[in-house]
A and B are shown apart, each in its own frame.
Chain A
Amino acid sequence: MAVREFAERGADLELVGIQKRFPGFTAIQDLDLKIPAGSFFALLGPSGCGKTTTLRLVAGLEEPTQGRILIGGKDVTSTRSHERPVNTVFQSYALFPHMSIIENVAFGLKRRRIADPVGKAHEALRLVELDHLAQRRPQQLSGGQQQRVALARAIVNRPALLLLDEPLGALDLKLRRQMQLELKTIQEEVGLTFLHVTHDQEEAMTMADTVAVMNKGAIEQMGAPAQLYDLPRTVFVANFLGQSNLFSGEVVGSTDTAVSVDVGGTRLVVPKARAHRHNGAVTVGVRPEKVSLHIEAPAPSADRNVVGPGRVLDVSFSGVSTQYLVDVPGHGTVLVFAQNTGSGPSVGVGDEVWSSWLVEHGFGLDDGAVETDRFPADDSTTAIAAQRRDDLVAELGEG
């Protein structure tokens, strides 16, 4: 059994045609995924999107209704979790309360009859700098320390694939940042394949080589963080990964390299290479930090899009940058992030401004559902009860 030997390095993971149905709802519709060996892969999405279910399927804690799971080229779909070369760092850590830290870490090694389990366990604890607490019980450690023990317990087994289920959720900001760096370092050092499930897009982008954004049981887009951020494919990705300004309109003209979209009377140009759709109704967008504010109407130019005039609704200072919310009649609101370099226009609430951005920074999405309400109407009791039920269903189905 492959489990008896340590993996020399990580293995790749392949999910083919996965479907997972629970009584009452379908968590995953049709999932295909390939994760290359030795990479740090993040599965990103909101609660209820199916990411935890995917993780549990890979760990062997659930069986797919349909589809196959391959680890290192071997079909493990019908193998049970204690026979798979996969280890999980659980969201709740799940450290055995009736064993000491060292016994916890040595547990997996002992089950596999690996030689010198305690020695190797000490090594793993040294890696996470907790060897001096080896005899303590989990209840005697802080949250951050428990998290590191959970990590050590999984890593010591040198699994082909390490699964992390939102492991940093319970930590405070500073500790979380620290752990993010540590996890990344350990992964590079040890060379295992990491599959990290999270709803924190910043975390996913910081740590992962590849990010897959999941929504409603399917992967919307997958790629390197920078790629995903620069060129989102769907409205969901554009809004979930960072923030976007989105505009809907009709394609009214196109050249070899770009399309022109009419949005409420204004012409916005998007390069064809960055637009998924080239005709009909499209949604185009731009990231807020790419937008500049002008207190006078800027001169029209072929390589900039201009939207305005509008009125500043809100100015939010957040240390590194300032966030401006501009109301432009016919376009809704435009969000602008300006880095506080101390130079550039400083505007106040009520000022009249124009927003512009370089054409090459815009993107065209593949779908076009744009939300108009800020908060969907949710004050009817039926809706509230239905919402509670949906939350409960999601909680039951998803970690």
Chain B
Amino acid sequence: MAFAAFTTAEAQPQAPRKSSRIALLLLLPGILYLVLFFLTPLVSLLLTSLQAPLEYGDIGQYQYAFNWQNYVDVMTAYWPHILRSFGYALAATVFALLFSYPLAYFIGVTARRWPLLQSLMLVLVIAPFFISFLLRTLAWKQILSDESFVITSLKALSLLGPDAHFTGTPFAVIFGLTYNFIPFMTLPLYTTLERLDLRYLEAGSDLYANPFTVFRKITIPLSMPGIVAGTLLTFIPAAGDYVNASRDFLGGPDTQMMGNVIEANFLVLLNYPAAAALSIILMAAILVLVGVYVKRSGTEDLL
């Protein structure tokens, strides 16, 4: 999916593929590993989500059961967090798209004449990844904290009220999410725009479309695969993120997302069933999205 959208090299026409036992040999170790450490844990998660507390047991001790009640409990207790997670993720995705599209357009279309510059600009886009993502987020926390230069100046200019905060608010969390996922949005957009045949734009102009119309009716539809890939790649991890919303980073007491709650339940409260149930809910929502995508584009394109 994402990756057909990524690779800039053209795939060669392959020779008719051979059906072979070698294929099995090659696939087996890796697939087995994934089954063991990916599928099975998901099943474990499902089972855990249905557990009930052990009678007379300590905190953290559970037994297997079919305690569907867990799901109800979790949804009643945490529905604000669930909605908030999807809401923040959606906002971050939209902002990331608005920010990244012009950037990707410049690198992929305007800068086509200078391939070395293109490579260097791409390096700059992914450069933030070379610094630990926790430190990046912390840097913003400090740059935008109440005592920082930025905030105090904005207050001095009366653009912000004297009691206003930035950190600890939903805006800060969305800001952090947007920032951290910009490269996820920019790169698929870049790959699609890089392959855009400019002759279509010329044809549009030849047929009396002004530059804005050309953009709206030709460039955007033709860059749709990149937009979809970028959106999925941003929204999915953003929905489950908890670092940005954590109190030690950009979040506050009212900005907790699903991820924070899952972490708290699992590692602190030792309420494994609750954590597992929430995870399954999150996973289910994501699978629905992926399902819609696969239905429209098939599985060949996934990888």
Contacts and interface: CB of A to CB of B under 8 A. Distances in A.
Touch A–B, Cβ below 8 Å: yes
A82 B210 contact: yes
B209 interface: yes
B228 to A, nearest CB: 14
A153 interface: yes
B93 to A, nearest CB: 23
* Residue among B205, B208, B210, B222 with most chain A CB within 10 A: B208
Nearest to B211: A82
**Range for the number of chain B residues in contact with chain A:** 20 to 34
Contacts of B199: 90, 92, 94
A59 B218 contact: no
A8 to B, nearest CB: 18
Contact of B206 (A87, A92, A112): A87
7 contacts: A61-B202, A81-B205, A87-B206, A92-B197, A92-B199, A96-B200, A112-B208
Nearest to B218: A96
Given A90-B199, A111-B213, A81 B206 contact: yes
Contacts of A71: none
B124 interface: no
Nearest to B207: A108
A112 B204 CA distance: 12
Interface string A223-248: 00000000000000000000000000
B203 interface: yes
Interface in B178-217: 197, 199-200, 202-211, 213-214, 217
A336 interface: no
Contact of A96 (B203, B213, B224): B203
A52 to B, nearest CB: 12
A139 to B, nearest CB: 13
A59 to B, nearest CB: 6
Given A111-B209, A157-B208, 7 more contacts: A81-B206, A82-B209, A88-B206, A90-B199, A92-B197, A98-B222, A107-B204
A1 to B, nearest CB: 10
A94 B203 contact: yes
Contacts of B208: 3, 82-83, 108, 111-112, 157
B203 A88 contact: yes
* Residue among A81, A87, A153 with most chain B CB within 10 A: A81
A373 B210 CA distance: 52
B207 A111 contact: yes
* Residue among B197, B203, B217 with most chain A CB within 10 A: B203
Contact of A82 (B205, B218, B221, B224): B205
Interface in B110-139: none
Contacts of B197: 92, 94
Interface in A68-90: 80-83, 86-88, 90
Interface of B: 197, 199-200, 202-211, 213-214, 217-218, 221-222, 224
Contacts of A90: 199, 202-203, 206
A11 B213 CA distance: 27
Contact of A107 (B209, B210, B221): B209
A86 B203 CA distance: 11
A96 B218 CA distance: 8
A85 to B, nearest CB: 9
Closest 5 CB pairs of A and B: A108-B207, A94-B203, A111-B208, A98-B221, A81-B205
Contacts of A3: 208
Main secondary structure on B side of the interface with A: helix
A391 B3 CA distance: 34
Contacts of A108: 207-208
A97 interface: yes
B205 A94 contact: no
A153 B207 contact: yes
Nearest to A88: B206
Contacts of B202: 61, 81, 88, 90, 94
Given A97-B222, A98-B222, A61 B205 contact: yes
Contacts of B210: 82, 111
Given A92-B199, A94-B200, A61 B206 contact: yes
Contacts of B200: 94, 96-97
Contacts of B214: 82
A87 B207 contact: yes
A108 B210 CA distance: 11
* Residue among A82, A98, A112, A153 with most chain B CB within 10 A: A82
Given A92-B199, A94-B202, A107 B222 contact: no
A351 B186 CA distance: 74
A106 B222 CA distance: 18
Interface string A1-42: 001000000000000000000000000000000000000000
Contacts of A87: 206-207
B106 to A, nearest CB: 20
Contacts of A88: 202-203, 206
A122 to B, nearest CB: 17
Nearest to A86: B206
Contacts of B217: 107
Contacts of B221: 98
Contacts of A97: 200, 222
A92 to B, nearest CB: 6
Nearest to B200: A94
Interface string A293-332: 0000000000000000000000000000000000000000
B205 A80 contact: yes
Contacts of A92: 197, 199
A149 to B, nearest CB: 12
A22 to B, nearest CB: 11
